[in-house]
Structure 1
Amino acid sequence: MPHQEIYEHFHPDEKAFVDRAWEWVERAAERHETKRTDFLDPRQAHVLFALAKRHPDAAIRLDGGYAGAERKRAIIAPDYRPLDAEDMGIAVLDITSDDRRISELDHGDYLGALLGLGIKRDKIGDLHVRDDGCHALIAEEIAVFITGQMRQAHRVEVSVGVLPLPQLREVAQTLEEQVLSVASLRLDGIASDVFRLSRTKIVEPIRAGRCRVNWKTEENPSTPLRAGDVVSMKGFGRFKLLEVEGVSKSGRTRVRIGKFM
């Protein structure tokens, strides 16, 4: 169990993960055990990294399969163990089809097809979607199961194979940019404009814990956003505040937003 002061640095909703992560760190440092985690989102990776750095006898490596990965697996080990050569257990799932409709599939279609097999989200890393298919980074231990079970993605028949990491075809994530004039930099104000909802309708999911800012749960609608912040709203999507361009003569603030596609 972490010391009580550690919890002060994290949101109450993160307590269960903090407990698990601290146990991994303690086992590595004090029992000389090595732990390879499932895929972590950036917030979980930050929490685990911060906890590992609190213990002088623990070492950590984070890797998502390529340089710009968002979701990553971690290895936590005793500090004397070199981690650069450790196998991260990541494979590339190659999803293709002869059906021309495959070009219409998006990130949600492929992710939905994988989750529909009963696979936990933690076993899936980043997805790279192209017009002719998708490369999905997955935990190698589920590769055989997926190739034996996955036959469709959103009603499109697909073929599935496994490739080594060097054959990953990266696809840069695209953002649909827009410039908004907002009354303030409050979370609820900007989110309501981005998702085209009234402020009343956007406040409810925020207060219900369905919003994350930089992958950390945020329940305060009045929280001010800053350039670089990534906001995700369950059921609505996510966006990034790219730039605060300035204040107009009328007192409104111009911001540039990138909506993840």
Structure 2
Amino acid sequence: MSIYMHFRQEEHEFIDQVLEWKETVNEQYAPKLTDFLDPREQEIVQSIIGSNEDVKVRLFGGAEGAERKRAFLYPSYYSPSLDDFQLKAYEISYPEKFVQIEHRQILGSLMGIGLKRSKFGDIHFHDKKVQLVIGEEVSSYVELQLQEVGRVKVSLQDIPLSELVSPEAVWEEASTTAASLRLDVMLASIYNLSRQKAQLLIGAKKVKVNWKVVEQSSFECREGDILSARGFGRSKLLTIDGKTKKDKWRVIVGKQK
């Protein structure tokens, strides 16, 4: 039975990459460290490597509840340590008495210096502290280049990984019904929007499913999908519970608090 059957068409390319990593570790008998993966990619890696006898996998993103993590694939004889993940943590210092910086501004500034999203992990906010996890291989470049966020001067302080504060995601459950599992219909039901408003958000590339921008309103949602719409937060389709007498889908949704 084909491994691809369990995954969406658009995930096949990533699956090929994971199979290639696995093959390389197997053949060269040497470990392989990936860039940062989003939770859906982590899930795919774990399901493909799974309970393989020869190749094992560990995931780590710097802190216990990290969302983005690097995967470390290794031969069964190898005993991995946290150093193998090659992570560096920083605290971003800025004049917080006078100005507030936001997640999207830090994201924009990192991408603005030419950094790919896969080269850095979570951006943590705790009280007024802002913390950042990046791959060791780009750390000296980031230290040199990241001098402003928005228009605010910033500086980076090296901190040990043990000082990272990663808040656990809390999901508030609610049930809803939807006429179909199309993305525009699901967004309208979950966030109490008109279907037209949902379609506008999708068309403006403001909607992600499993951390990837989706531009088709007709995209079919599945159980376990994480949806996010800019300005409306994140939600998860916890269970799709069959249909009501009026032929609507009964869905249990978790909304991130």
**Which TM-score band (shorter chain)?**
0.7 to 0.9
Please say if residues 25 and 55 of structure 1, whose CA atoms lie closer than 8 Å, have aligned partners that are also in contact.
no
Q: Does residue 1:117 correspond to 2:149, yes or no? A: no
Q: What is the CA-CA distance between 1:30 and the residue it aligns to?
A: 2.3
Unaligned segments of structure 1, at least 5 residues = 245-249
Q: What RMSD in Å do the two structures reach over aligned CA positions?
A: 3.9
Alignment of 1:156-167 (within 5 A): 156-167=152-163
Q: What is the CA-CA distance between 1:185 and the residue it aligns to?
A: 7.5
Q: What is the CA-CA distance between 1:20 and the residue it aligns to?
A: 1.3
Letter in 2 for 1:50: S
Taking structure 1 as reference, are residues 29 and 88 closer, same or farther at Cα in structure 2, changes over 3 Å only? same
Alignment of 1:41-190 (within 5 A): 41-53=38-50, 55-84=52-81, 87-102=84-99, 104-172=100-168, 182=177, 186=181, 187-190=183-186
Quote the sequence identity (%): 33
Please say if residues 229 and 240 of structure 1, whose CA atoms lie closer than 8 Å, have aligned partners that are also in contact.
yes
How far apart, in 1, do the equivalents of 2:130 and 2:101 lie? Answer: 9
Please say if residues 95 and 158 of structure 1, whose CA atoms lie closer than 8 Å, have aligned partners that are also in contact.
yes
Q: What is the CA-CA distance between 1:232 and the residue it aligns to?
A: 2.5
Q: What is the CA-CA distance between 1:190 and the residue it aligns to?
A: 3.8
2:35 paired residue among 25, 38, 56? 38
- Per the normalisation by structure 2, the TM-score is 0.78
Q: What is the CA-CA distance between 1:231 and the residue it aligns to?
A: 1.1
How far apart, in 1, do the equivalents of 2:62 and 2:115 lie? Answer: 19
Q: What is the CA-CA distance between 1:149 and the residue it aligns to?
A: 1.2
Letter in 1 for 2:6: H
Q: Does residue 1:231 correspond to 2:240, yes or no? A: no
SS of match in other structure, 1:128: strand
Q: Residue by residue, what CA displacement relative to the aligned partner does 1:201-257 show, whole Å, maximum 9, x if unpaired?
A: 43577699985544578767485666x75213478753235799xxxxx99979665
How far apart, in 2, do the equivalents of 1:50 and 1:211 lie? Answer: 26
1:191 paired residue among 184, 187, 192? 187
Please say if residues 178 and 189 of structure 2, whose CA atoms lie closer than 8 Å, have aligned partners that are also in contact.
no
Most deviating of 82-91 and 7-16: 82-91
Q: What is the CA-CA distance between 1:48 and the residue it aligns to?
A: 1.3
How far apart, in 1, do the equivalents of 2:108 and 2:219 lie? Answer: 33
How far apart, in 2, do the equivalents of 1:123 and 1:182 lie? Answer: 39
Letter in 1 for 2:91: D
Alignment correspondent of 2:20: 23
Number of aligned residue pairs: 253
Q: What is the CA-CA distance between 1:73 and the residue it aligns to?
A: 0.5
- Per the normalisation by structure 1, the TM-score is 0.77
Letter in 1 for 2:152: V
